[in-house]
Structure 1
Amino acid sequence: RKIPLMTSDAGVSVRLGDVARIQIGPEMRRGIAELNGEGEVAGGVIIMRSGKNALETIDAVKVKLEKLKASLPPGVEIVPTYDRSSLIKRAVSNLKEKLIEEFIVVAVVCALFLFHLRSALVAIITLPIGI
């Protein structure tokens, strides 16, 4: 603020604080992104091959990351920010529940409308298998 810029003809010194607002800014950025507003981060994306099992791929990546953590320099850590494994497990669980519900509804409807056990069993067994 007290850095002189120039001196006028009358001998008055013009300082930087007289002509500008001065404030201390943040440190220089070294990276392109931050995680939760702090620290510098590098990003990576795991791409799964078509037709592969997603849960097996995610588990294999987790194992590799654990092995990699031992070789990282101090202060560097790997933080997964998006893990789809819980989403996939919930979807599979939901599918199982809906399949059981469908089986029960088909069984009740067939039993009510067909009144013939053998015909009802054919529909009860083939519909869930077909789906």
Structure 2
Amino acid sequence: MAIDRAALIAGSIRLASGISFLVDPLRANRLWGDPEEPTPTARLLLRSMGYRDALIGGLLAAAALRGKGTRGWFLASGGADAADLLGGVSVHDELKPSQRLIGLGGAVVGIGVGLWGATRRNVVGRRGEQP
């Protein structure tokens, strides 16, 4: 069984990001460019994003380790970032430049990674097996 290293890396990054939003949403929020204290509703949404990212990242990494297909999880990951970008565009004018760069720029990169992962060729293991 071949390990899909690219999917493992992408899944691990998304899993770690999700966990950071669950463990300390205030610190994670600051890391993403917002120095102010979020409202209770914003904290709820930060935790929801954490659950989403931990779930998608964990399942992408698990599929990569098992040598299973990862295309659907890459699409889910890119889709989550597309939703973030769409939501971010609606408040673009209210964001600080650092928030635009980190939040919206990160979403664009995530969409690209998701599309790349979903459309790349199958990974072939050392013995010629395919996941």
TM-score by length of 1: 0.32
Structure exhibiting the larger radius of gyration computed from Cα positions:
1
TM-score by length of 2: 0.32
Greater share of helix residues, 1 or 2? 2
- Determine which structure has greater relative contact order: mean sequence separation of CA pairs < 8 Å that are 6+ residues apart, divided by chain length: 2
